[in-house]
Homo-oligomer: A and B are copies of this chain.
């Protein structure tokens, strides 16, 4: 929270298109994860010339939609985004969540259209990188190219998680998801306890984990009975982080 509103979360968001809402690099929370991190000043200027900061996107607003022409990658400066597809029967299927510092749109590389809807889950600021210019720039900045290719890691990690998740029970999947949030530093830790304000709905989580909302709810209830978590709406508390880590890795 870099604004003057201390501690308080702004429930109401100002108009989405206000020109003064954009974030400068200096106030971007994703600096350490930025493709530009570590580049020379001159290289950074080249990157900076092609980027465009946008935001805030209010919850529910799309950053891009399926079938939109693919033209850019996006770095999330602040906020959370889900990507989802819609089946023929209208069912939404959540394919992933993206947090501060994550790069969005990689899934569309090699295609001329995006293949997901990308929807902000909370007030979200992004930085747009036109892809063709980025790819051209890569030729002159090998380090940048390398960085982009590194992002294959993210996709690989997702695949791995999904494939192995198929063999886990509902409760194990939930714990795995919670640990993912821990690693994303979304969790606020202190001592051995932690708490978390999840930006996505339980339904989104269930879809992402390949469960029905009812099954997720039951899994959360069981974990609560076991004393591993405390489940209060969008706030989830972790009375014993070590126990969770132990439970996942057993």
Contact = CB atoms under 8 A, between A and B. Distances in A.
B152 A146 contact: no
A107 B162 contact: no
Interface string A144-157: 01101111110110
B159 A162 contact: yes
Interface residues of A, number: 33
Interface of A is mostly: helix
A111 B166 CA distance: 24
A93 interface: yes
Given A110-B151, A163-B95, A135 B146 contact: yes
Contacts of A139: 138-140, 142, 145
A156 B115 contact: yes
A166 B160 CA distance: 14
Given A107-B156, A135-B142, A155-B155, 10 more contacts: A106-B152, A110-B152, A111-B153, A115-B156, A135-B146, A139-B145, A145-B145, A158-B159, A162-B162, A163-B210
